[in-house]
Structure 1
Amino acid sequence: MSDRVVLVGCGNMGFAMLKGWLDSGALEPQAIHVVEPAAMLRQRAGELGVHTVAEAGELSADLNPRMVLIAVKPQAMAQVLPAYTRFAGDVTFVSVAAGIPVALFEKHLGDKAAIMRVMPNTPAAIGKGMLVVYRNAHVTDANAVFINGLLKTSGEVASIADESLMDAVTAISGSGPAYVFHFIECLTDAGVTVGLDRDLAALLAMQTVYGAGALAAQSHESPTKLREQVTSPNGTTAAALDVLMSEDRLEDLITKAVEAAKKRSVELGKA
Protein backbone atom coordinates (compact mmCIF):
# COMPACT_ATOMS: atom_id res chain seq x y z
CA MET A 1 0.00 0.00 0.00
CA SER A 2 1.27 3.46 -0.92
CA ASP A 3 2.25 5.78 1.93
CA ARG A 4 1.85 8.86 -0.24
CA VAL A 5 -0.25 11.65 1.23
CA VAL A 6 -1.97 14.76 -0.06
CA LEU A 7 -2.07 17.86 2.13
CA VAL A 8 -4.80 20.29 1.09
CA GLY A 9 -4.07 23.73 2.52
CA CYS A 10 -0.66 24.71 3.83
CA GLY A 11 -1.40 27.63 6.11
CA ASN A 12 -0.24 27.72 9.73
CA MET A 13 -1.68 24.38 10.86
CA GLY A 14 -1.07 22.55 7.59
CA PHE A 15 2.53 23.74 7.42
CA ALA A 16 3.13 22.84 11.08
CA MET A 17 1.93 19.29 10.45
CA LEU A 18 3.99 19.06 7.26
CA LYS A 19 7.09 20.12 9.18
CA GLY A 20 6.35 17.53 11.84
CA TRP A 21 6.17 14.71 9.29
CA LEU A 22 9.43 15.71 7.68
CA ASP A 23 11.43 16.66 10.78
CA SER A 24 10.52 13.37 12.47
CA GLY A 25 11.33 11.30 9.40
CA ALA A 26 7.80 9.87 9.40
CA LEU A 27 7.51 10.70 5.69
CA GLU A 28 9.97 11.44 2.92
CA PRO A 29 9.43 14.69 0.94
CA GLN A 30 8.70 12.81 -2.28
CA ALA A 31 5.75 11.06 -0.61
CA ILE A 32 3.94 14.34 0.05
CA HIS A 33 1.82 16.33 -2.40
CA VAL A 34 0.67 19.76 -1.24
CA VAL A 35 -2.30 21.56 -2.79
CA GLU A 36 -2.11 25.26 -1.94
CA PRO A 37 -3.52 28.09 -4.12
CA ALA A 38 -1.58 30.88 -2.38
CA ALA A 39 1.73 31.28 -4.18
CA MET A 40 3.69 32.36 -1.10
CA LEU A 41 2.48 29.43 1.00
CA ARG A 42 3.03 27.02 -1.89
CA GLN A 43 6.60 28.26 -2.30
CA ARG A 44 7.24 27.84 1.45
CA ALA A 45 6.11 24.22 1.25
CA GLY A 46 8.08 23.60 -1.92
CA GLU A 47 11.28 24.69 -0.23
CA LEU A 48 10.95 21.59 1.97
CA GLY A 49 11.25 19.38 -1.10
CA VAL A 50 7.64 18.23 -1.35
CA HIS A 51 5.53 18.23 -4.51
CA THR A 52 3.33 21.32 -4.76
CA VAL A 53 0.40 22.30 -6.98
CA ALA A 54 -2.04 25.19 -6.93
CA GLU A 55 -5.21 23.15 -7.32
CA ALA A 56 -6.47 19.57 -7.15
CA GLY A 57 -6.76 19.24 -10.92
CA GLU A 58 -2.97 19.45 -11.21
CA LEU A 59 -2.44 16.29 -9.17
CA SER A 60 -1.24 13.34 -11.22
CA ALA A 61 -4.07 11.18 -12.53
CA ASP A 62 -2.35 8.03 -11.26
CA LEU A 63 -1.72 9.39 -7.75
CA ASN A 64 -3.02 6.87 -5.22
CA PRO A 65 -2.58 8.48 -1.79
CA ARG A 66 -3.19 6.70 1.47
CA MET A 67 -4.36 9.90 3.16
CA VAL A 68 -5.79 13.24 2.07
CA LEU A 69 -5.49 15.68 4.96
CA ILE A 70 -7.67 18.73 4.49
CA ALA A 71 -6.48 21.80 6.40
CA VAL A 72 -8.61 24.59 4.94
CA LYS A 73 -10.94 26.98 6.74
CA PRO A 74 -14.26 25.40 7.76
CA GLN A 75 -16.30 27.76 5.60
CA ALA A 76 -14.35 26.67 2.51
CA MET A 77 -14.84 22.94 3.06
CA ALA A 78 -17.96 22.47 0.93
CA GLN A 79 -16.26 24.15 -2.03
CA VAL A 80 -13.01 22.21 -1.67
CA LEU A 81 -14.22 18.63 -1.16
CA PRO A 82 -15.81 17.88 -4.58
CA ALA A 83 -12.41 18.06 -6.28
CA TYR A 84 -11.24 15.03 -4.28
CA THR A 85 -14.13 12.65 -4.94
CA ARG A 86 -11.94 10.72 -7.38
CA PHE A 87 -10.01 9.37 -4.38
CA ALA A 88 -13.09 8.17 -2.43
CA GLY A 89 -12.92 4.50 -1.52
CA ASP A 90 -9.14 4.28 -1.89
CA VAL A 91 -8.04 6.75 0.74
CA THR A 92 -8.74 8.04 4.23
CA PHE A 93 -9.78 11.68 4.36
CA VAL A 94 -8.62 13.56 7.44
CA SER A 95 -10.07 16.92 8.49
CA VAL A 96 -8.61 19.35 11.02
CA ALA A 97 -11.45 21.86 10.56
CA ALA A 98 -13.33 22.80 13.72
CA GLY A 99 -17.07 22.22 13.80
CA ILE A 100 -17.38 20.31 10.52
CA PRO A 101 -19.05 16.93 11.14
CA VAL A 102 -18.21 13.70 9.38
CA ALA A 103 -21.68 13.80 7.79
CA LEU A 104 -20.66 16.76 5.61
CA PHE A 105 -17.71 14.80 4.24
CA GLU A 106 -19.90 11.78 3.58
CA LYS A 107 -22.37 14.05 1.76
CA HIS A 108 -19.69 15.23 -0.67
CA LEU A 109 -17.46 12.15 -0.83
CA GLY A 110 -20.03 9.37 -0.49
CA ASP A 111 -21.34 7.45 2.47
CA LYS A 112 -18.69 4.76 2.01
CA ALA A 113 -15.78 7.20 2.25
CA ALA A 114 -13.29 6.67 5.07
CA ILE A 115 -13.24 9.82 7.21
CA MET A 116 -11.20 10.86 10.24
CA ARG A 117 -11.93 14.08 12.06
CA VAL A 118 -9.11 15.60 14.11
CA MET A 119 -9.18 18.46 16.61
CA PRO A 120 -5.62 19.78 17.07
CA ASN A 121 -4.56 22.85 19.02
CA THR A 122 -1.97 25.54 18.38
CA PRO A 123 0.92 23.94 20.36
CA ALA A 124 0.94 21.36 17.54
CA ALA A 125 3.04 23.98 15.75
CA ILE A 126 5.97 23.05 18.02
CA GLY A 127 5.17 19.35 18.38
CA LYS A 128 3.49 19.85 21.77
CA GLY A 129 -0.12 19.76 20.67
CA MET A 130 -3.13 17.76 21.79
CA LEU A 131 -4.92 16.03 18.92
CA VAL A 132 -8.20 14.18 19.38
CA VAL A 133 -9.45 11.80 16.68
CA TYR A 134 -12.84 10.45 15.67
CA ARG A 135 -13.16 8.03 12.75
CA ASN A 136 -16.11 6.60 10.91
CA ALA A 137 -16.63 2.88 10.37
CA HIS A 138 -14.92 2.84 6.97
CA VAL A 139 -11.43 3.73 8.23
CA THR A 140 -9.36 0.56 8.40
CA ASP A 141 -7.33 -0.24 11.50
CA ALA A 142 -4.15 -0.20 9.40
CA ASN A 143 -4.85 3.28 8.07
CA ALA A 144 -5.80 4.51 11.53
CA VAL A 145 -2.44 3.32 12.88
CA PHE A 146 -0.60 4.95 9.95
CA ILE A 147 -2.42 8.27 10.35
CA ASN A 148 -2.14 8.33 14.14
CA GLY A 149 1.59 7.86 13.71
CA LEU A 150 1.72 10.98 11.56
CA LEU A 151 -0.43 12.94 14.01
CA LYS A 152 1.89 12.00 16.89
CA THR A 153 4.63 14.07 15.27
CA SER A 154 2.53 17.09 16.34
CA GLY A 155 1.85 16.02 19.94
CA GLU A 156 -0.27 13.66 22.01
CA VAL A 157 -3.09 11.79 20.29
CA ALA A 158 -6.32 10.52 21.86
CA SER A 159 -9.39 8.92 20.29
CA ILE A 160 -13.12 9.21 20.95
CA ALA A 161 -15.87 6.85 19.83
CA ASP A 162 -18.70 9.42 19.99
CA GLU A 163 -18.37 12.29 17.52
CA SER A 164 -20.63 14.54 19.61
CA LEU A 165 -17.82 14.73 22.18
CA MET A 166 -15.82 16.83 19.71
CA ASP A 167 -17.66 19.91 20.98
CA ALA A 168 -16.37 19.21 24.50
CA VAL A 169 -12.89 18.47 23.13
CA THR A 170 -12.94 21.79 21.31
CA ALA A 171 -13.87 23.58 24.53
CA ILE A 172 -11.03 21.99 26.51
CA SER A 173 -7.98 21.41 24.31
CA GLY A 174 -8.97 23.23 21.12
CA SER A 175 -9.69 26.56 22.78
CA GLY A 176 -7.74 25.77 25.94
CA PRO A 177 -4.40 27.33 24.93
CA ALA A 178 -6.12 30.73 24.82
CA TYR A 179 -7.28 30.27 28.41
CA VAL A 180 -3.70 29.54 29.46
CA PHE A 181 -2.34 32.50 27.50
CA HIS A 182 -4.87 34.75 29.24
CA PHE A 183 -3.82 33.35 32.62
CA ILE A 184 -0.22 34.27 31.76
CA GLU A 185 -1.42 37.77 30.86
CA CYS A 186 -3.27 38.08 34.17
CA LEU A 187 -0.36 36.71 36.22
CA THR A 188 1.97 39.16 34.47
CA ASP A 189 -0.33 42.10 35.22
CA ALA A 190 -0.61 40.98 38.83
CA GLY A 191 3.18 40.92 39.06
CA VAL A 192 3.32 44.51 37.83
CA THR A 193 0.65 45.47 40.39
CA VAL A 194 2.80 44.15 43.26
CA GLY A 195 5.86 46.06 42.05
CA LEU A 196 7.73 43.96 39.49
CA ASP A 197 9.09 45.29 36.20
CA ARG A 198 6.80 44.11 33.38
CA ASP A 199 9.51 42.18 31.54
CA LEU A 200 10.47 40.33 34.71
CA ALA A 201 6.82 39.72 35.61
CA ALA A 202 6.20 38.30 32.12
CA LEU A 203 9.21 35.99 32.39
CA LEU A 204 8.15 34.75 35.82
CA ALA A 205 4.57 34.14 34.70
CA MET A 206 5.46 32.37 31.45
CA GLN A 207 8.20 30.17 32.87
CA THR A 208 6.09 29.26 35.89
CA VAL A 209 3.20 28.10 33.72
CA TYR A 210 5.58 26.26 31.39
CA GLY A 211 7.42 24.56 34.24
CA ALA A 212 4.29 23.63 36.14
CA GLY A 213 2.73 22.14 33.02
CA ALA A 214 5.87 20.14 32.25
CA LEU A 215 6.05 18.89 35.85
CA ALA A 216 2.38 17.87 35.82
CA ALA A 217 2.89 16.02 32.52
CA GLN A 218 5.97 14.14 33.73
CA SER A 219 5.02 13.48 37.34
CA HIS A 220 3.30 10.32 38.54
CA GLU A 221 1.38 12.48 41.01
CA SER A 222 -2.00 14.02 40.20
CA PRO A 223 -2.32 17.82 39.81
CA THR A 224 -4.22 17.80 43.10
CA LYS A 225 -1.30 16.11 44.88
CA LEU A 226 1.22 18.46 43.26
CA ARG A 227 -0.83 21.46 44.39
CA GLU A 228 -0.94 20.11 47.92
CA GLN A 229 2.84 19.60 47.92
CA VAL A 230 3.38 23.28 47.09
CA THR A 231 0.89 24.50 49.67
CA SER A 232 2.37 24.82 53.17
CA PRO A 233 -0.20 25.37 55.95
CA ASN A 234 -0.70 29.09 56.58
CA GLY A 235 1.94 29.92 53.94
CA THR A 236 1.94 32.24 50.96
CA THR A 237 0.49 29.69 48.52
CA ALA A 238 -2.30 28.87 50.95
CA ALA A 239 -3.17 32.57 51.21
CA ALA A 240 -3.44 32.84 47.43
CA LEU A 241 -5.46 29.64 47.08
CA ASP A 242 -7.88 30.87 49.72
CA VAL A 243 -8.79 33.56 47.19
CA LEU A 244 -8.84 31.33 44.10
CA MET A 245 -10.61 28.35 45.68
CA SER A 246 -13.02 30.12 48.02
CA GLU A 247 -16.58 29.11 47.08
CA ASP A 248 -15.02 27.23 44.11
CA ARG A 249 -14.81 30.59 42.33
CA LEU A 250 -12.02 29.68 39.88
CA GLU A 251 -13.44 26.23 39.15
CA ASP A 252 -16.88 27.77 38.60
CA LEU A 253 -15.48 30.44 36.26
CA ILE A 254 -13.53 27.91 34.20
CA THR A 255 -16.52 25.57 33.99
CA LYS A 256 -18.71 28.41 32.72
CA ALA A 257 -16.07 29.35 30.16
CA VAL A 258 -15.81 25.76 28.90
CA GLU A 259 -19.60 25.43 28.73
CA ALA A 260 -19.76 28.64 26.66
CA ALA A 261 -17.10 27.34 24.27
CA LYS A 262 -18.89 23.99 23.91
CA LYS A 263 -22.21 25.72 23.23
CA ARG A 264 -20.60 27.85 20.52
CA SER A 265 -18.97 24.79 18.98
CA VAL A 266 -22.38 23.12 18.73
CA GLU A 267 -23.81 26.25 17.10
CA LEU A 268 -21.00 26.43 14.53
CA GLY A 269 -21.50 22.77 13.67
CA LYS A 270 -25.12 23.49 12.77
CA ALA A 271 -24.39 26.62 10.75
Structure 2
Amino acid sequence: MDDPQRYLFVDRAVVYNPAAQADWTAKRLVWVPSERHGFEGASIREERGDEVIVELAENGKKAVVNKDDIQKMNPPKFTKVEDMAELTCLNEASVLHNLKDRYYSGLIYTYSGLFCVVINPYKNLPIYSDNIIEMYRGKKRHEMPPHIYAISESAYRCMLQDREDQSILCTGESGAGKTENTKKVIQYLAHVASSHKGRKDHNIPGELERQLLQANPILESFGNAKTVKNDNSSRFGKFIRINFDVTGYIVGANIETCILNRSDVMNGGGFW
Protein backbone atom coordinates (compact mmCIF):
# COMPACT_ATOMS: atom_id res chain seq x y z
CA MET A 1 0.00 0.00 0.00
CA ASP A 2 1.27 3.46 -0.93
CA ASP A 3 2.46 5.40 2.11
CA PRO A 4 0.45 8.65 2.43
CA GLN A 5 3.25 10.27 4.44
CA ARG A 6 5.39 10.77 1.34
CA TYR A 7 2.64 12.88 -0.24
CA LEU A 8 2.49 15.16 2.80
CA PHE A 9 5.85 15.51 4.54
CA VAL A 10 9.23 16.77 3.34
CA ASP A 11 12.36 15.26 4.86
CA ARG A 12 14.19 18.46 5.77
CA ALA A 13 17.34 16.51 6.69
CA VAL A 14 17.59 15.30 3.09
CA VAL A 15 16.65 18.67 1.59
CA TYR A 16 19.18 20.70 3.55
CA ASN A 17 22.60 19.80 2.22
CA PRO A 18 25.62 21.81 3.47
CA ALA A 19 27.45 21.08 0.20
CA ALA A 20 24.56 22.51 -1.80
CA GLN A 21 24.58 25.60 0.41
CA ALA A 22 28.30 26.13 -0.25
CA ASP A 23 27.77 25.60 -3.97
CA TRP A 24 24.96 28.18 -4.02
CA THR A 25 27.17 30.76 -2.29
CA ALA A 26 30.23 30.17 -4.46
CA LYS A 27 28.49 30.10 -7.84
CA ARG A 28 26.13 33.05 -7.24
CA LEU A 29 23.17 31.06 -8.55
CA VAL A 30 20.27 32.95 -10.13
CA TRP A 31 17.23 32.36 -12.35
CA VAL A 32 17.28 33.44 -16.00
CA PRO A 33 14.47 33.36 -18.61
CA SER A 34 14.05 30.14 -20.60
CA GLU A 35 11.76 29.54 -23.58
CA ARG A 36 11.47 25.88 -22.68
CA HIS A 37 11.09 26.00 -18.90
CA GLY A 38 10.03 29.58 -18.23
CA PHE A 39 13.08 29.99 -15.99
CA GLU A 40 16.23 27.96 -15.47
CA GLY A 41 19.11 28.02 -13.03
CA ALA A 42 22.41 29.65 -13.91
CA SER A 43 25.55 30.99 -12.26
CA ILE A 44 26.89 34.50 -12.80
CA ARG A 45 30.29 34.50 -14.51
CA GLU A 46 30.80 38.12 -15.45
CA GLU A 47 28.97 41.45 -15.30
CA ARG A 48 29.23 44.01 -18.10
CA GLY A 49 27.18 47.09 -17.40
CA ASP A 50 23.51 46.20 -17.98
CA GLU A 51 24.39 42.72 -19.23
CA VAL A 52 25.49 39.61 -17.38
CA ILE A 53 27.28 36.53 -18.69
CA VAL A 54 25.86 33.40 -17.06
CA GLU A 55 26.57 29.68 -17.26
CA LEU A 56 23.41 27.60 -17.57
CA ALA A 57 23.15 24.85 -14.95
CA GLU A 58 21.45 22.39 -17.31
CA ASN A 59 24.09 22.18 -20.05
CA GLY A 60 26.99 24.42 -19.00
CA LYS A 61 26.50 26.74 -21.96
CA LYS A 62 27.15 30.45 -21.54
CA ALA A 63 24.52 33.08 -22.30
CA VAL A 64 24.22 36.85 -22.15
CA VAL A 65 21.16 38.20 -20.35
CA ASN A 66 19.96 41.60 -19.27
CA LYS A 67 20.37 42.40 -15.58
CA ASP A 68 16.68 43.24 -15.31
CA ASP A 69 15.76 39.72 -16.47
CA ILE A 70 17.73 38.00 -13.70
CA GLN A 71 15.89 36.86 -10.58
CA LYS A 72 17.57 35.84 -7.35
CA MET A 73 17.64 32.19 -6.34
CA ASN A 74 16.84 31.19 -2.76
CA PRO A 75 19.34 29.28 -0.59
CA PRO A 76 18.97 25.46 -0.66
CA LYS A 77 17.42 25.45 2.83
CA PHE A 78 14.22 26.78 1.23
CA THR A 79 13.92 23.80 -1.13
CA LYS A 80 10.32 22.51 -1.21
CA VAL A 81 9.31 25.04 1.45
CA GLU A 82 5.71 24.54 2.61
CA ASP A 83 4.81 28.24 2.72
CA MET A 84 6.16 30.38 -0.09
CA ALA A 85 5.69 33.49 2.04
CA GLU A 86 8.81 32.31 3.88
CA LEU A 87 11.03 32.59 0.80
CA THR A 88 13.85 35.10 1.20
CA CYS A 89 13.66 35.92 -2.52
CA LEU A 90 9.97 36.04 -3.35
CA ASN A 91 9.83 36.30 -7.13
CA GLU A 92 8.05 34.61 -10.01
CA ALA A 93 10.88 32.19 -10.80
CA SER A 94 11.26 31.03 -7.19
CA VAL A 95 7.51 30.54 -6.77
CA LEU A 96 7.23 28.49 -9.97
CA HIS A 97 10.31 26.43 -9.09
CA ASN A 98 9.06 25.66 -5.59
CA LEU A 99 5.63 24.59 -6.85
CA LYS A 100 7.21 22.44 -9.57
CA ASP A 101 9.73 20.89 -7.18
CA ARG A 102 7.04 19.97 -4.67
CA TYR A 103 4.65 18.71 -7.35
CA TYR A 104 7.26 16.37 -8.85
CA SER A 105 7.83 15.02 -5.33
CA GLY A 106 4.13 14.22 -4.95
CA LEU A 107 3.37 17.26 -2.78
CA ILE A 108 0.36 18.88 -4.45
CA TYR A 109 -0.51 21.34 -1.65
CA THR A 110 1.60 24.44 -0.93
CA TYR A 111 0.77 27.50 1.15
CA SER A 112 1.23 31.03 -0.12
CA GLY A 113 0.52 33.13 2.93
CA LEU A 114 -3.21 32.82 3.68
CA PHE A 115 -3.82 30.86 0.47
CA CYS A 116 -3.39 27.19 -0.29
CA VAL A 117 -2.17 26.47 -3.83
CA VAL A 118 -3.22 23.09 -5.25
CA ILE A 119 -1.86 21.46 -8.41
CA ASN A 120 -4.07 18.72 -9.85
CA PRO A 121 -2.14 15.40 -9.80
CA TYR A 122 -4.61 13.78 -12.22
CA LYS A 123 -4.52 10.61 -10.15
CA ASN A 124 -5.83 9.41 -6.81
CA LEU A 125 -3.57 10.01 -3.82
CA PRO A 126 -3.92 8.20 -0.46
CA ILE A 127 -4.22 11.44 1.53
CA TYR A 128 -7.98 11.71 2.00
CA SER A 129 -8.81 8.84 4.34
CA ASP A 130 -10.43 9.09 7.77
CA ASN A 131 -7.00 8.48 9.31
CA ILE A 132 -5.62 11.56 7.54
CA ILE A 133 -8.63 13.57 8.69
CA GLU A 134 -7.88 12.58 12.27
CA MET A 135 -4.25 13.70 11.79
CA TYR A 136 -5.43 17.23 10.98
CA ARG A 137 -8.30 17.38 13.41
CA GLY A 138 -7.68 19.85 16.22
CA LYS A 139 -4.29 20.91 14.80
CA LYS A 140 -3.25 24.46 13.98
CA ARG A 141 -2.26 25.14 10.39
CA HIS A 142 1.48 25.44 11.08
CA GLU A 143 1.52 22.13 12.96
CA MET A 144 0.78 20.05 9.86
CA PRO A 145 1.83 19.96 6.19
CA PRO A 146 -0.26 21.93 3.68
CA HIS A 147 -3.60 20.28 2.94
CA ILE A 148 -7.19 21.23 2.16
CA TYR A 149 -8.02 19.57 5.49
CA ALA A 150 -5.86 22.12 7.32
CA ILE A 151 -7.82 24.95 5.68
CA SER A 152 -11.10 23.25 6.60
CA GLU A 153 -9.97 22.67 10.19
CA SER A 154 -8.93 26.31 10.54
CA ALA A 155 -12.33 27.51 9.32
CA TYR A 156 -14.18 25.08 11.59
CA ARG A 157 -12.21 26.03 14.70
CA CYS A 158 -12.45 29.78 14.02
CA MET A 159 -16.20 29.39 13.65
CA LEU A 160 -16.48 27.68 17.04
CA GLN A 161 -14.05 29.96 18.86
CA ASP A 162 -14.93 33.33 17.34
CA ARG A 163 -18.64 32.63 16.74
CA GLU A 164 -18.35 34.14 13.27
CA ASP A 165 -19.20 32.90 9.79
CA GLN A 166 -16.28 31.45 7.82
CA SER A 167 -15.78 31.18 4.05
CA ILE A 168 -13.60 28.95 1.86
CA LEU A 169 -13.25 29.90 -1.81
CA CYS A 170 -12.06 27.31 -4.34
CA THR A 171 -11.02 29.04 -7.55
CA GLY A 172 -8.95 28.19 -10.62
CA GLU A 173 -9.14 27.33 -14.30
CA SER A 174 -11.01 24.34 -15.70
CA GLY A 175 -9.43 21.10 -14.50
CA ALA A 176 -7.60 22.73 -11.60
CA GLY A 177 -9.43 20.57 -9.05
CA LYS A 178 -12.02 22.99 -7.65
CA THR A 179 -14.86 20.47 -7.57
CA GLU A 180 -12.80 17.69 -6.00
CA ASN A 181 -11.31 19.94 -3.33
CA THR A 182 -14.78 21.30 -2.52
CA LYS A 183 -15.84 17.70 -1.93
CA LYS A 184 -12.87 17.24 0.42
CA VAL A 185 -13.91 20.31 2.41
CA ILE A 186 -17.42 18.88 2.81
CA GLN A 187 -16.00 15.45 3.64
CA TYR A 188 -13.80 16.91 6.36
CA LEU A 189 -16.51 19.06 7.92
CA ALA A 190 -19.02 16.20 7.81
CA HIS A 191 -16.56 13.84 9.52
CA VAL A 192 -15.46 16.30 12.20
CA ALA A 193 -18.99 17.47 12.94
CA SER A 194 -20.39 13.93 13.15
CA SER A 195 -17.54 12.73 15.38
CA HIS A 196 -17.68 15.70 17.73
CA LYS A 197 -16.45 14.89 21.22
CA GLY A 198 -19.31 13.83 23.45
CA ARG A 199 -21.63 12.65 20.72
CA LYS A 200 -22.93 9.16 21.43
CA ASP A 201 -22.73 7.94 17.84
CA HIS A 202 -19.51 9.86 17.32
CA ASN A 203 -18.17 7.82 14.42
CA ILE A 204 -21.44 7.54 12.49
CA PRO A 205 -22.21 10.37 10.08
CA GLY A 206 -25.66 11.87 10.69
CA GLU A 207 -28.43 12.06 8.11
CA LEU A 208 -27.68 15.68 7.24
CA GLU A 209 -24.01 14.91 6.71
CA ARG A 210 -24.90 12.01 4.41
CA GLN A 211 -27.34 14.11 2.40
CA LEU A 212 -24.75 16.83 1.98
CA LEU A 213 -22.15 14.39 0.68
CA GLN A 214 -24.62 12.63 -1.61
CA ALA A 215 -25.95 15.83 -3.18
CA ASN A 216 -22.84 16.36 -5.31
CA PRO A 217 -23.32 13.44 -7.73
CA ILE A 218 -26.89 14.58 -8.42
CA LEU A 219 -25.81 18.12 -9.23
CA GLU A 220 -22.92 16.87 -11.34
CA SER A 221 -25.20 14.65 -13.41
CA PHE A 222 -27.14 17.73 -14.55
CA GLY A 223 -24.47 20.42 -14.56
CA ASN A 224 -21.19 18.75 -15.55
CA ALA A 225 -19.77 18.03 -18.99
CA LYS A 226 -16.65 16.59 -20.60
CA THR A 227 -14.14 19.14 -21.88
CA VAL A 228 -10.68 18.96 -23.43
CA LYS A 229 -8.97 19.47 -20.06
CA ASN A 230 -11.49 17.80 -17.78
CA ASP A 231 -13.66 14.69 -18.13
CA ASN A 232 -15.98 15.90 -15.36
CA SER A 233 -16.00 19.68 -15.69
CA SER A 234 -18.52 21.70 -13.67
CA ARG A 235 -20.31 24.06 -16.03
CA PHE A 236 -21.88 26.02 -13.19
CA GLY A 237 -20.90 27.71 -9.96
CA LYS A 238 -21.92 26.53 -6.51
CA PHE A 239 -22.42 28.46 -3.30
CA ILE A 240 -22.63 25.92 -0.49
CA ARG A 241 -23.81 27.08 2.92
CA ILE A 242 -23.45 24.71 5.89
CA ASN A 243 -25.13 25.62 9.16
CA PHE A 244 -23.80 24.47 12.54
CA ASP A 245 -25.21 24.73 16.03
CA VAL A 246 -23.22 26.21 18.93
CA THR A 247 -21.62 22.84 19.68
CA GLY A 248 -20.34 22.28 16.15
CA TYR A 249 -22.97 19.86 14.81
CA ILE A 250 -24.33 20.28 11.29
CA VAL A 251 -27.97 21.35 11.55
CA GLY A 252 -28.67 22.39 7.97
CA ALA A 253 -27.26 23.15 4.56
CA ASN A 254 -28.24 24.51 1.19
CA ILE A 255 -26.62 24.72 -2.23
CA GLU A 256 -27.22 27.60 -4.60
CA THR A 257 -26.23 27.22 -8.25
CA CYS A 258 -25.31 30.03 -10.60
CA ILE A 259 -23.74 30.90 -13.98
CA LEU A 260 -24.83 27.64 -15.58
CA ASN A 261 -23.22 27.26 -19.01
CA ARG A 262 -26.24 25.73 -20.73
CA SER A 263 -24.66 25.38 -24.18
CA ASP A 264 -21.95 23.03 -22.89
CA VAL A 265 -24.38 20.96 -20.84
CA MET A 266 -27.10 20.70 -23.51
CA ASN A 267 -24.76 19.91 -26.42
CA GLY A 268 -24.22 16.22 -25.83
CA GLY A 269 -22.63 15.49 -29.20
CA GLY A 270 -25.44 13.09 -30.11
CA PHE A 271 -25.63 11.53 -26.64
CA TRP A 272 -29.01 13.02 -25.72
Q: Which has the higher contact order (CA 8 A, sep 6+)?
A: 1
State whether TM-score is above 0.5: no
Q: TM-score, normalised by structure 2?
A: 0.23
* Higher share in helix: 1
* Higher share in strand: 2
Larger radius of gyration: 2
